[in-house]
């Protein structure tokens, strides 16, 4: 095993250690192999930026379970709220009898999501389910069928959301046929777009295709991640989102912002649309919202949301009371600890170090991101994606006890999603391991 000086005192064994390896053998006999894990260390205990495995190794967590445990793992207030609610009742089904937690989460969503208009929300279990429902609502409210999505988009793994997701492998391969009336247009991807292309020009490229290939009158909604997640942490050029939003409102097309990964303080604001002053018609949320409990939402204009007939939306578990209690405690933690500001501090600390590194490394195409959603894209001088290097860097981090993830259409991006409560010193330690992995 090779470890760096920075983490060796946190590791007791090689990764995976004997306990983790034993669990790995059991899982191979019991768990479907289509559901793999990035790092074969069996999680046993969390902490603010640490994950302790079954062999007592302290892993530095720069992934947050894919942008979920932003407020801590567990956040103490979330652990208390979950235990408290579990002792009262664990399920009622909001469609059978209502309860206050569900209503309070919807009140909070109305207050926190962009825009001052009157809003309504509906709660679900997963991000994919929220996206599916946003599309259902948009189609119903507009009486139109087409949905426009972007290159590199990721919206989930259910049948409709597979159609909305761009990348074939691993998400769609041999899982078709996919849902119809989904149209894909080019995203603003500054690193890969023609040099000097502005956000407005990239938006015109996309909206021209919408108008010419689909027809504005046929489009129910344009669905977009304000900063793309799985597709490579692609931050569109300034002005792109605004111009797309304007085209939508000029053409009676609803704008759905998929803030499942970017929402809840991740990018240094409650929602990433705020950076561009864009107010979407509908917003989908999930990941960072409930401290790891399964909860997702669609929030939008009251008239759009309420267009759907009674009984048209719902689900057995959607807005489960324990998940709602966890969400309320998470939101409270984000407010009192000002985790949006914390994300901004993480951005400043990490970008500076990564950009300095990129200066002297012509295998790094771009360092980018916003708040605590940061990425290094590995590419040659000609932009040729270097997935092999991204994989190697991630693997070296894992061996040294630092959890990082890769992403991107070309698999050549290493991404960082640290919990927003991570201490400065621990973040520094994790970044040093990443630096070492990149320069090695």
Ligand X SMILES: *Cc1c(COP(=O)(O)O)cnc(C)c1O
Per rule CB under 6 A, is residue 193 in the interface with ligand X?
no
First-to-last C-alpha distance (Å) of the chain: 15
In the bound complex, what is the minimum distance in angstroms from residue 212's beta carbon to ligand X?
27
How far is it, in rounded angstroms, from Cα 258 to Cα 92?
28
Question: Closest CB to ligand X among 15 and 416?
Answer: 416
Residues 132-161 that bind ligand X (CB under 6 A): 154-156
How far is it, in rounded angstroms, from Cα 282 to Cα 260?
12
Show Cβ contacts of residue 72 under 8 Å, excluding neighbours closer than 6 positions: 46, 48, 78, 291, 333, 419, 421
Among 101, 199, 229, 292, binds ligand X (CB under 6 A): 229
Q: What is the signed CA dihedral for 92, 97, 99, 104, rounded to 10 degrees?
A: 110
Per rule CB under 6 A, is residue 57 in the interface with ligand X?
no
Q: Which stretch binds ligand X (CB under 6 A): 98-106, 184-192, 212-220, 256-264?
A: 256-264
In the bound complex, what is the minimum distance in angstroms from residue 375's beta carbon to ligand X?
14
Tokens of 142: 């507009």
In the bound complex, what is the minimum distance in angstroms from residue 134's beta carbon to ligand X?
10
Residues 396-435 that bind ligand X (CB under 6 A): none
Per rule CB under 6 A, is residue 126 in the interface with ligand X?
yes
Per rule CB under 6 A, is residue 385 in the interface with ligand X?
no
Number of residues interacting with ligand X: please give it, by CB under 6 A: 14
Residue whose entry in the numeric block shows the structure tokens 């993480």:
346
Question: Closest CB to ligand X among 287 and 398?
Answer: 287
Question: Closest CB to ligand X among 227 and 379?
Answer: 227
Nearest to 61 by CA among 433, 430, 396: 430
Cβ pair 205, 186 in contact under 8 A: yes
Among 261, 320, 333, 432, binds ligand X (CB under 6 A): 261
Question: Closest CB to ligand X among 112 and 257?
Answer: 257
How far is it, in rounded angstroms, from Cα 187 to Cα 184?
9
| Residue in the shown chain whose Cβ atom is closest to ligand X | 127
Cβ pair 187, 199 in contact under 8 A: no
In the bound complex, what is the minimum distance in angstroms from residue 407's beta carbon to ligand X?
10
Nearest to 379 by CA among 219, 189, 95: 189
Question: Interface with ligand X by CB under 6 A: which residues?
Answer: 126-128, 131, 154-156, 225, 229, 258, 260-261, 286-287
């Amino acid at each position: 095993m090779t470890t760096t000086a920075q983490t060796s005192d946190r590791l007791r064994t090689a990764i995976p250690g004997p306990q983790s390896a034993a669990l790995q053998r059991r899982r191979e006999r019991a768990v479907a192999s289509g559901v793999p894990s990035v790092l074969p260390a069996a999680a046993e205990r969390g902490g603010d930026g640490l994950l302790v495995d079954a062999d007592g190794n302290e892993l530095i967590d720069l992934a947050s379970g894919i942008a979920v445990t932003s407020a801590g793992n567990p956040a103490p207030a979330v652990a208390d709220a979950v235990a408290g609610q579990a002792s009262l009742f664990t399920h009622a089904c909001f469609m059978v009898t209502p309860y206050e937690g569900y209503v309070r989460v919807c009140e909070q969503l109305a207050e926190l999501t962009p825009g001052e208009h009157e809003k309504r929300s509906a709660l679900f279990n997963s991000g994919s389910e929220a996206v599916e429902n946003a599309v259902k609502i948009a189609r119903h409210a507009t009486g139109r069928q087409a949905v426009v999505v972007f290159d590199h988009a990721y919206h989930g793994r259910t049948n409709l959301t597979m159609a909305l997701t761009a990348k074939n492998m691993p998400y769609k391969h041999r899982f078709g046929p996919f849902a119809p009336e989904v149209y894909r247009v080019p995203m603003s991807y500054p690193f890969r777009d023609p040099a000097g292309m502005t956000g407005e020009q990239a938006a015109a490229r996309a909206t021209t295709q919408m108008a010419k290939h689909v027809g504005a009158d046929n489009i129910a909604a344009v669905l977009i991640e304000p900063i793309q997640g799985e597709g490579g942490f692609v931050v569109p050029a300034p002005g792109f989102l605004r111009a797309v939003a304007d085209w939508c409102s000029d053409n009676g097309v609803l704008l759905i912002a998929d803030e499942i990964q970017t929402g809840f303080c991740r990018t240094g604001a409650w929602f990433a649309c705020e950076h561009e002053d864009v107010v979407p018609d509908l917003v989908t949320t999930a990941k960072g919202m409930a401290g790891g409990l399964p909860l997702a939402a669609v929030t939008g204009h009251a008239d759009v949301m309420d267009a759907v007939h009674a009984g048209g939306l719902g689900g057995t578990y959607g807005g489960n009371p324990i998940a709602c209690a966890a969400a309320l405690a998470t939101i409270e933690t984000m407010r009192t600890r000002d985790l949006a500001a914390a994300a901004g501090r993480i951005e400043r600390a990490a970008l500076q170090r990564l950009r300095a590194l990129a200066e002297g490394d012509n295998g790094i195409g771009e360092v980018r991101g916003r708040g605590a959603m940061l990425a290094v894209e590995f590419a040659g001088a000609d932009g040729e994606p270097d997935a092999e290097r991204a994989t190697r860097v991630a693997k070296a981090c894992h061996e040294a006890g630092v959890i990082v993830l890769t992403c991107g259409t070309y698999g050549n991006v290493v991404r960082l999603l640290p919990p927003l409560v991570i201490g400065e010193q621990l973040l520094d330690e994790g970044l040093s391991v990443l630096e070492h992995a990149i320069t090695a």
